[in-house]
Amino acid sequence: MLTNTGLVSHVKKALAEKWGYVWGTFGEILTAALLQAKIKQYPDGVGQYETFIRQTWLGRRTSDCVGLIKSFIWWNGGSPVYNSKSDVSANGMYTAAKEKGPINTIPEIPGICVWKDGHIGVYIGNGQVIEAHGTKSGVIQTPLSGAGATPWTHWLKCPFITYEVIEGMQEGDKGEEVKALQTKLNKIGYRLVVDGDFGLATETAVKSFQIGNAMPAHGIADKPTVAAIDAMIKRLEPGKPVLGWKEILKKAGVADDWDEKIEDISKNDPRFKYLPTLIEKIYNAR
Closest CA to 32 of 60, 10, 9: 60
β-bridge mates for residue 80, sequence order: 75
pLDDT in tens, 128-146: 999 999 999 999 999 999 9
210-231 mean pLDDT: 87
Question: In this structure, are residues 99 and 157 in contact, taking their beta carbons and an 8 Å threshold?
Answer: yes
pLDDT in tens, 70-125: 999 999 988 999 999 999 999 999 999 999 999 999 987 889 999 999 999 999 98
154-161 mean pLDDT: 98
Domains in the chain and their CATH numbers?
A: 4-156 (3.90.1720), 176-284 (1.10.101.10)
- In terms of pLDDT, which residue wins out, 267 or 65? 65
pLDDT in tens, 10-38: 999 999 999 999 999 999 999 999 999 99
Q: Who contacts 137 (Cβ-Cβ below 8 Å, separation ≥6)? A: 21
What pLDDT shows up at residue 259?
73
| % of the chain at pLDDT higher than 70 | 96
CA distance 159 to 15: 23
Q: Helix, strand, coil shares of the chain as percentages rounded to 5?
A: 45, 15, 40
pLDDT value at 218 more than 90? no
3-state SS track over 185-201: HHHCCCCCCCCCECCHH
Closest CA to 153 of 101, 108, 109, 97: 101
Return the CA Rg of the chain.
21
Q: How many residues can be counted in the chain?
A: 286
What pLDDT shows up at residue 272?
73
Cβ-based neighbour number of residue 112 at 10 Å = 24
Question: In this structure, are residues 266 and 274 in contact, taking their beta carbons and an 8 Å threshold?
Answer: yes
What pLDDT shows up at residue 238?
63
pLDDT value at 42 more than 90? yes
CA distance 15 to 282: 29
